[in-house]
Amino acid sequence: MNTMRMNPIQVRWRALLASPYFTSLVTVALLAVLLAAGGASYPGFLSLQVLFNLLIDNAFLLVIAVGISFVILSGGIDLSVGSVLALSTMVAAWLLQVWHLPPLLVIAVVLLLGAGFGAAMGALIHYFKLQPFIVTLAGMFLARGLCYLISVSSITITDPLFVAMSQTQLAVPGGFVSPGVLIALLTLALAIYMGHYTPFGRALYAVGGNEQSALMMGLAVGRSKVLVYAFSGGCAALGGVLFSFYMLSGYGLHAQGAELDAIAAVVIGGTLLSGGYGYVAGALSGVLVLGTIQTLIAFDGTLSSWWTKIVIGGLLFVFCVVQRLMGRAAA
């Protein structure tokens, strides 16, 4: 569209939609509105400990959302992260309770298995030219099925380190957080650095923006894709470790639908599903929005938990429309 034919208001609105900060600002504004609504409706909603609980309850989701952010920025998708998380809890519980391996060794093994699983999917996607949706869907079924080869029932974790991590409360001004929160925030900080201040991050955005152009620029597209899915698998495994701390068990039914919650958090956080656009930090604001919606429904006490899914679905529709408007404004 010729900007010479638009009035000043249309020009400013078009420039705002084309801004790379627009969706991030919308998400932060939405979070502020939700918190304000909760504070006005329910006494104590805005207490610092309630806000810290958002992070405590969703630390694992933040970690897997960080991994999926990288995949989506590269123009792909990863549907396996929820199943890899569940498999990680099962492997950790099995190695701890049956094989009695040291907990730090168990955590290292779980993280390596998750990264290797993701790297294998990335290699299949790139070298065999397969669709990420199909490959990661197969990975989702495979990982979930492997859980039941280990055990069809829950395995309780009694390891002292895991129990200590579950029960430890780290004092912060206004309340406390769990060690899992610090691990999740450190993972986010590392991902922000990798995504925005390293050659790998620049290659990530280039591949997501236009893979053919990235190849013509001489970028290692294949290596970048494999590393992206390895990072996502590693984050899913780390999320499984945090979930094991939280639940003190391994179970094949853990984190059902977590992959969709993580994708929703990333999209709400401002990352375009088409790839090449967004900020890794948006995963945090997206996860906080989802957690705030859950907390509002819990404080109400009269609504079914399914209202969380209904509200999240509505938000996704809205953000998809916003992304479409942004695409038109940038054209």
Task: Tell me, yes or no, whether 330 lies in a domain.
Answer: no
Whole-prediction pTM: 0.93
Contacts (Cβ under 8 Å, ≥6 apart) of 141: 83
Task: Tell me, yes or no, whether 17 lies in a domain.
Answer: no
Q: Half-sphere exposure of residue 110, counting CA atoms within 13 Å on the CB side?
A: 31
Residue 313: give its domain's CATH number.
Answer: 1.10.3470
One-letter identity of residue 115: A
Task: Tell me, yes or no, whether 108 lies in a domain.
Answer: yes
Domain containing 58 equals: 22-323
% of the chain exceeding 90 in pLDDT: 75
Task: Tell me, yes or no, whether 278 lies in a domain.
Answer: yes
What pLDDT, in 10s, does the model give residues 278-316? 889 999 999 999 999 999 988 887 777 778 888 888 888
Q: H-helix or E-strand containing 21?
A: none
The two structure tokens encoding residue 157: 């974790």
Interval 1-5 mean pLDDT: 52
Task: Tell me, yes or no, whether 231 lies in a domain.
Answer: yes
What pLDDT, in 10s, does the model give residues 44-60? 899 999 999 999 999 99
pLDDT at 273 over 60: yes
Task: Tell me, yes or no, whether 331 lies in a domain.
Answer: no
The two structure tokens encoding residue 226: 């494999």
Number of domains in the chain: 1
What pLDDT, in 10s, does the model give residues 83-134? 999 999 999 999 999 999 999 999 999 999 999 999 999 999 999 999 999 9
Task: Tell me, yes or no, whether 328 lies in a domain.
Answer: no
Task: Tell me, yes or no, whether 118 lies in a domain.
Answer: yes
Give how far Cα 237 sits from Cα of 67, 87, 117, 295, Å. 10, 8, 10, 26
Cα distance between residue 214 and residue 203, in whole Å: 8
CA dihedral 66, 70, 71, 75 (to 10 degrees): 140
Cα distance between residue 242 and residue 245, in whole Å: 5
